[in-house]
Amino acid sequence: YAIVPLGNLPIGSTITAIRVIASPKTSAGVGITATLRYWDETASLGSGTPTLGEVQNPPTAYVATTPTATNVGQPAVYTSEVTLTPSAADGAIRRDRAHEVLIEAGASNNRLAGDGLLLRRSRLRSGGLVTTNAFSLASELAVRMAARKPAWVVQAGSLFEPPNSATDGVALFGAPTSLVAIALRQVLTGRSAVLTFGSWVAGQSFTVTVDGASVVYDSTGDADLPATLTDFANAINGDPTVGLLVQATPEDSTGNGANDRLRLVGRNPEDFSIGFSGGVGVTCTADAASAVVALSYALDAALLTTAPVDWFAPPDALHIVQSPMARRVLRVSTGGYLRGHVTLAQLTGVGGDAASTLLTAPTVTWGPAFSET
């Protein structure tokens, strides 16, 4: 048998296919068996030996090719070939996992020719086939390329509370540089406002006010809410003043095929104020116009015992994100930090917004990367 370790693969990538070609030193008709297996090191802590992880299914799949002589007058060279296609879970490359391929001849009295073993690997990120002879250089280049790509992770939990536990924020994996994407707007080109209709009664009157100009719509004669939203959107888009400021589009938020809300998107990068009245249970939610971003970092898991003492602010802790560039990416230095966290403060709307206008929750996404700059 032969064991080929799959080392130096980029963390976060996935093995999608492994093609094994081997030459058993045996007679015709004998194939090979190839098994993809991995070792989860964290699962064996305290046991002294690694724990064998779940073997790719089926673990003993093989295809025996018909042996043929490669050159007339020379001894026949028998080859067998197998392609393994692991699942996403089995093929995931993690820091605590070591993959290897076990290749065995089809009979106990056979052995593999050491100079006839060829292993080709195809990975999700590279998309190419790399032989063992060239893999050292190719893998080094692949690792460097993949490491420069940010591993984007959305920061979960409340964005408006400072971190106070070892699980807050996002793991940075010791990356020297990280990108932090803060999105106050849902689209870059303009502010968005969504009118959500909790219920509908025929004959209701609705008023939407954009930058002080109003459009009134009477739903008398409409068959249902989708019909009202279609006509209401046409009235907004056709208004000589409001129609130049926003584009109104009915939407289906539930996926059942019936529109139940109305989205207004600014036609210009500048903000617009929004207000709504009428109907029953109608809410108006719009993008925020500005926010103060506070960065904080945790140093080491062993220190996180009396939070928030063990969370610290870097020199570049505070940033302001505001319209019209309300979708901003920060490049920050994160070397030596275990986790990163963004806290949003002073989230504000647009002057002139109605008091009933709610603000859409922003999104924060981290992208740790092993980049030089």
Structure tokens at 311: 């969370």
Q: Which residue has the higher pLDDT, 282 or 82?
A: 282
- Is the pLDDT at 336 greater than 50? The verdict is yes
* Mean pLDDT score, 341-349: 92
Which pLDDT belongs to residue 108? 41
Q: Which residue has the higher pLDDT, 199 or 193?
A: 193
Give, rounded to a whole angstrom, the gap between the first and last alpha carbons of the chain. Answer: 45
* Mean pLDDT score, 94-117: 57
Which pLDDT belongs to residue 183? 93
* Mean pLDDT score, 249-266: 91
> How far apart are the C-alpha atoms of 117 and 120, rounded to whole Å?
10
Q: Which residue has the higher pLDDT, 149 or 242?
A: 242
Encode pLDDT of 288-314 as tens digits: 999 999 999 987 655 545 544 478 888
- Is the pLDDT at 19 greater than 90? The verdict is no
Which pLDDT belongs to residue 263? 96
Name which of 339, 369, 354, 368 is nearest 157 in CA terms.
339
- Tell me which residue has tokens 């940010």: 150
pLDDT band at 365 (very low <50, low <70, confident <90, very high): very high
- Is the pLDDT at 35 greater than 70? The verdict is yes
% of the chain residues with pLDDT over 90 = 34
* Mean pLDDT score, 1-20: 74
Q: Which residue has the higher pLDDT, 4 or 237?
A: 237
Average model confidence (pLDDT) for the chain?
75
Highest mean pLDDT among 43-57, 107-121, 142-156, 299-313: 142-156
Beta strands 282-286 and 358-359, pairing class: parallel
Q: What is the DSSP secondary-structure string of 115-183?
A: GG-EEEEEETTT-SEE-GGGHHHHHHHHHHHHHHS---EEPPS-SSS---STTSSEE-TT-SEEEEEEE
* Mean pLDDT score, 224-237: 95
Which amino acid is residue 82, in one-letter code?
A: V
Q: Which residue has the higher pLDDT, 36 or 221?
A: 221
What DSSP designation does 340 have?
A: E
pLDDT band at 74 (very low <50, low <70, confident <90, very high): very low
Name which of 334, 333, 365 is nearest 183 in CA terms.
365
> How far apart are the C-alpha atoms of 310 and 163, rounded to whole Å?
10
Encode pLDDT of 261-275 as tens digits: 999 999 999 999 999
Which pLDDT belongs to residue 120? 39
Q: Which residue has the higher pLDDT, 68 or 372?
A: 372
* Mean pLDDT score, 159-185: 87
Which pLDDT belongs to residue 42? 52
* Spatial CB neighbours of 133, under 8 Å, sequence gap ≥ 6: none
